[in-house]
Every structure is written in structure tokens, then in C-alpha cells.
Amino acid sequence: MQQYTIPNTDLSVSRLAYGTWHLGGQWDETPLTDDLKQRAVRLIATAVDTGINLIDLADIYTRGKSDEAVGYALQQDKTLRDKIILQEKCGIVSCAKPEFGMPPRYDFSFEHITKSVETCLQRLATDRVDILALHRPDPLVEYEEVARAFDHLHASGKVRYFGVSNHTAGQIALLQRHVRQPIVLNQVELSLLHHSLISDGILANMDGYRYSNTSGLMDFCRLNQIMIQAWSPTASGRVFGCSEDSTDLEQQLAKQIAAIARTHETTDEAIPLAWLLRHPAGIQPIVGTLNADRIGKSVLADDITLSRVEWYTLLETARGESVP
């Protein structure tokens, strides 16, 4: 698989990443089972064998069990840790160890960030993560505390690089003003059915723009050499129109995806990912399937370059109207 070099790092990453949102099973206190551990081993091995080297995690995923599942896989193959890039996220509290409780909230305090990383490292059975991202913006953030946490984690060797997730341009700029380390990525929801960051660039001066706080975000990240990662790049599979409650638009998009897949003699799974990869920003889609066969079908996106006609046809279908 082709790779990106994340700006301001020495990390060379695959153009697709593997996400672990549901890797640990249920989002409850049920212990991680042997079957789930073995499934994690198989899925991560499949991802690595197909060329994926970035594994995306978060301390809240299945209440910490996704971390544990990846940690188990690392213990089964002692060579695996040096083959992959581990990316953690922290800051959401409601269902995350080391803290629980209502209401759902965010916490970017020094204590929470550092404690979360320590807990994740224990679950992962490793001494470091390559990237730590702040998961969702905390309205009560005190950037001096974040800077202190970043300095502590970086100096101790527990975190090499830092990023954010679901942050606006202004929030990133404020963070950059306070921290010593570069902000190297922003992980955001982005797909054919959630195309706000891309559509923003063609809807300038238009009425009825409905997306929240995305204006200029793609350009800001590109100007500041911040890699965009796309979570839910197939909109939880809705781009394939296979659910019972699929909308007419989703069904039309699925037909268009299938038609373009036939043209390229590839899989349907590859096309919505290839649509993201075609963008010159160097977007990295995060594939979160629990089906090993679908990992193989998804990575075929790396071999496809959509034409402008195909790319805009998919955008038009997803928007339900042509570009202005």
C-alpha cells in the first residue's frame, strides 16, 4: 500500500488506517472473552498483511476492552509493535476508564490526560503510543494544562506526537498557541454522506449551508500541515444502501458506487474510500469493519484513481443535487 508521511513527524503511514471502535465487543462491563481476543489477533493480522500500519484507538472504545484486545494481539506477536503505529484518543469521560459516571462530559485536565495515557499503556502492554489525539473539544479546557500534559508525556517518552479529533480551526489555533509540540492530525467524520469539509469549498457565498463549524477547516488543516483522518468513511455502511431503512438518496448512491466499481473491476467497498483518497489533501480513511474479508476489499481503494467525472458524479449523487 502507498503511504503518507505525516507532516512534522518521522511517521510513514498507510493511506488507510484500521479503527478499533467495536473491537472489544459490547460497551459494558462484560470481560473480554477469548473469542474476542482471537478475533482481534486475526483482524489486526489481516490489516497488517494488507499493508495497513496505523491502528486507531480510544480509551472509551468498548470501555477500554478494545485497547485490551490490541494489547493481547501485541503480546501474541512480539514483532508486531514495531510494525505498527498506535494512535490513542482521550478526553471523553462518561464511559471511559479510569473514570465513569454521568453526565457524559469531556475532560482535558492535566490529571485526566496523563491518567488516561497511563491506563491505555497498561491495557496495550506497551511503553508508548505514537500519537495521542484529544477526542472531542472540552468547553472547560485550560490550554496551559494541556500543554503541561503534552510536555510531561512527550518528555517521558510515553507519547511521540499529538493531534486532535473533531476540532474546529479556531480550537486548533488556540491549542497551537499554547503547546510546544506540533498538532499533526485532526480526525473528523468525513464520507460521501457527511461531506461537509469538502462541500464547504464549493458552497462559498451560498444560502442554507447547514454544517456546523466546518467552514475553512479543510483549508486550515492543509495550510498548517495537519493531516485529515476520516472516521466513518462509509457512513457506517449506509453508502452501500443495504439497511432496511436506507433512504432513496442512499439507494441511488449505492447504485452509483456499484456502477463505478464495475468500471474499475473492483469492489464496492473500495469506491467510497477511493473518493476520499482522490482528494489532494491526503485524507486517511479509518476502516472499522470487524469482517476480515471487508478489510481486503477496502484496501483495493489504494489501487484506484477516480476520474474527475466519477468523483463529481459521486458527490452530486450524495448531495442530491449538482454543484452550484
Q: Which residues are catalytic?
A: 61
E-strand ranges in 118-234 read 129-134, 159-165, 183-189, 227-231
Q: What is the dihedral of CA 146, 14, 258, 194, to 10 degrees?
A: 10
Residue 164 forms beta bridges with which residues? 134, 186
> Interhelix angle for 248-263 vs 270-277, to 10°?
80
Most distant pair of Cα atoms in the chain: their distance? 56
Rounded-to-5 percentages of helix, strand, coil across the chain: 45, 15, 40
d(CA 206, CA 211): 12
In the three-class reduction of DSSP (H, G, I as helix; E, B as strand; rest coil), residue 281 is classed as coil
State the alpha helices, DSSP H only, in 98-168. 110-124, 143-155
101-121 burial code (b ≥16 CB/10 A, e <16): eeeeebbbbbebbbbbbebbb
Cell digits of residue 302: 489504494
